[in-house]
Chains A and B, each alone.
Chain A
Amino acid sequence: MSVSKEQVQERVVEALASFGPDADTITPSATFEELDIDSLDLVELAQIVEDEYGVVLKGEDMKELKTVGDAVELITARAA
Chain B
Amino acid sequence: MSETSWPPAGCALVTGGSRGIGAAIARRLAADGWPVAVNYRAGAEAAERVVAEIEAAGGRAVALAGDVSDPAAADALFEAAETHFGVPVLALVNNAGISRDNLSPSLTDDEWQAVIDTNLTAAFRFTRRALKGMMRARTGRIVNISSVVGLRANPGQSNYAAAKAGLIQFTRTAAVEVARRGVTINAVAPGWIDTDMTADVNRELLDAVPAKRAGTPEEVAACVGFLVSAQAGYVTGAVLTVDGGLSA
Chain A residues within 8 Å of B, Cβ to Cβ: 40, 44, 47-48
Contact = CB atoms under 8 A, between A and B. Distances in A.
Interface string B36-71: 000000000000000000000000000000000000
* SS of A interface (majority): helix
A47 B135 CA distance: 10
B84 interface: no
A44 B177 contact: no
Contacts of B132: 47
B136 interface: yes
* SS of B interface (majority): helix
B31 interface: no
A68 to B, nearest CB: 20
By size class, the interface of chain B is under 10
9 contacts: A40-B135, A40-B177, A40-B180, A40-B181, A44-B135, A44-B136, A47-B135, A47-B136, A48-B136
Nearest to A39: B177
A44 B135 CA distance: 7
Contacts of A48: 136
Contacts of A47: 132, 135-136
A49 B178 CA distance: 19
B102 to A, nearest CB: 38
A4 B132 CA distance: 26
Contacts of A40: 135, 177-178, 180-181
A47 B136 CA distance: 9
Interface string B176-216: 01101100000000000000000000000000000000000
A19 B178 CA distance: 13
A24 B177 CA distance: 28
A48 B136 CA distance: 9
A11 B78 CA distance: 26
A44 B182 CA distance: 14
A40 B134 CA distance: 13
A54 B197 CA distance: 43
Contacts of B178: 40
Interface string B135-165: 1100000000000000000000000000000
